[in-house]
Amino acid sequence: MAIAPGSRSTPESRAWWLGQGMFYPAMIYVLAVIGLPFALAVVYAFSDIKVGSVGYHFVGLQNFKSILHSATFLRALYDSFIFTVGSQILVLVGSTLLALALEKKFRGRGLVRFLMLLPWVAPVSIGAIGWKWILDSLYSVINWVLIRIPILHLDKFNPPQWLGEPALAMASVIVVHTWRLLPFSTVILLAGLSAIPKDIPEAAEIDGAGFWRKMFQINIPMLLPILNVALLFGIVFTFTDMTVVYILTRGGPYDSTQVVPSLAFFTGVLGGDLSEGAAISLFMVPILVIVAYLMLRAANRSEIT
């Protein structure tokens, strides 16, 4: 914290006090609604509190122990990593391709941008329920098309159950989440692309660099810092998301798409086991801390250059 200048009458010190007064109401509100519950989550995780229970019993690491021995939790942790890594790879590759294709101005660019933004702008739960209809067990339009492609030899009466078989369900959840995050990542990369000085690729072209060389030795390396930002946001938005899973599969079939946040919801909110739910959700904290640290580092670096 900065030290307030000694005398209160100088214009600088008046500005400083005014600044405090204008800033703190917002900060206190945010701390009260984020910091306080976070502290409570930690307190809960070391207790045996349930919905409707009275009093507080400290139980130490009991909840964490029982969670780490639970096959369901370990499965959820594993699924969370698959879900996050899988969708982030798809998002990075897809959004880089799309951003490079969208960079140059052309007729209809505004329309393409509007269409591609829809998944990000529409409420997640609404987009996900749209996919639930597309992946329906009986009336899936995807299956309708696939069955009519002769070389696939699909059984007309037993088409793929996109949300009913473990591997397919995980793939579906990953694809739907990628669909949702791709626009966000693309617009961030577009902003990064527009900040690359145009004379560098041009100079390289004059020196005889071809399309691929320009791409891999100039455009993509210069995009890396912003790609980094998009990835960090993407990791947080994916690892902590339960909406897509909740709407599409409720974690099923057989917990094959259960992720850490959805398990915390089912345990702590629907199951009423507040202490275990809180302990489960705390397992997201290490990831958040790492991401926050990397973001700060990125911010500091850009300040120096």
Partner 1 sequence: MARGRARELLIEAGRWVVLVSFSVALAFPFYWMLITTFKQDGDLYNTANNPFIFNLKPTLVHLQVLFRDTMYLRWAGNTALVGALVVLITLLLSLPAAYALARLTGKWGERMGIAMFLTYLVPPTLLFIPLSRVVALLGLQDTIWSLVFVYPSFTIPFSTWLLMGFFKSIPRELEDAAMVDGLTRFGAFVRLVVPISLSGILTVVIFTFTLVTQEFVYALTFIAPERNQMVGVGVPTFLIRGDVYFWGELMAACLITSLPIALLYNLFLDRFIAGFTVGAIK
The tokens for 80 are 């969370």
4 binds partner 1 per the rule CB under 8 A: no
The dihedral sign for the CA sequence 276, 277, 278, 279? positive
Mark residues 203-222: x for contact with partner 1 by CB under 8 A, - for none. Answer: -------xx-----------
Three-state DSSP class for residue 58: strand
Nearer residue to partner 1 within complex by CB, 138 or 151: 138
190 binds partner 1 per the rule CB under 8 A: yes
Q: How far is the CB of 68 from partner 1 (least distance, A)?
A: 19
98 binds partner 1 per the rule CB under 8 A: yes
Q: Are residues 274 and 49 in contact, defined by beta-carbon separation less than 8 angstroms?
A: yes
Q: How far is the CB of 281 from partner 1 (least distance, A)?
A: 5
CA 302, CA 234: separation in Å to the nearest integer? 20
Subset of 137-166 contacting partner 1 (CB under 8 A): 138-139, 141, 144
Q: Of 80, 84, 258, 281, which lies in the binding site for partner 1, with binding defined by CB under 8 A? A: 281
117 binds partner 1 per the rule CB under 8 A: yes
Q: Of 76, 91, 92, 102, which lies in the binding site for partner 1, with binding defined by CB under 8 A? A: 102
C-alpha separations of 68 from 30, 48, 65, 145, 147 in Å: 32, 16, 5, 44, 44
Q: Of 118, 146, 203, 220, which lies in the binding site for partner 1, with binding defined by CB under 8 A? A: 118
CA 140, CA 146: separation in Å to the nearest integer? 10
292 binds partner 1 per the rule CB under 8 A: yes
**Interface region with partner 1, contact rule CB under 8 A, candidates 55-63, 73-81, 84-92, 263-271:** 263-271
The secondary structure of residue 150, as a DSSP letter, is G
23 binds partner 1 per the rule CB under 8 A: yes
93 binds partner 1 per the rule CB under 8 A: no
Q: Of 89, 93, 122, 203, which lies in the binding site for partner 1, with binding defined by CB under 8 A? A: 122
112 binds partner 1 per the rule CB under 8 A: yes
83 binds partner 1 per the rule CB under 8 A: no
The tokens for 178 are 């990628």
Q: Of 10, 74, 93, 114, which lies in the binding site for partner 1, with binding defined by CB under 8 A? A: 114
CA 76, CA 272: separation in Å to the nearest integer? 19
Q: Of 5, 8, 10, 19, which lies in the binding site for partner 1, with binding defined by CB under 8 A? A: 19
Q: Of 30, 74, 200, 203, which lies in the binding site for partner 1, with binding defined by CB under 8 A? A: 30
Radius of gyration of the chain (CA): 25
Q: Of 86, 127, 160, 234, which lies in the binding site for partner 1, with binding defined by CB under 8 A? A: 127
121 binds partner 1 per the rule CB under 8 A: yes
Number of residues engaging partner 1 in binding (CB under 8 A): 103
The answer for residues whose C-beta is within 8 angstroms of residue 301's C-beta and 6 or more apart is: 225
Q: How far is the CB of 33 from partner 1 (least distance, A)?
A: 4
- Give the dihedral of Cα atoms 280, 285, 286, 288; nearest 10 deg: 140
Instruction: Write 289-297 long-range contacts (CB < 8 A, 24+).
Output: 291/232, 291/235, 291/236, 294/228, 294/232, 295/229, 295/232
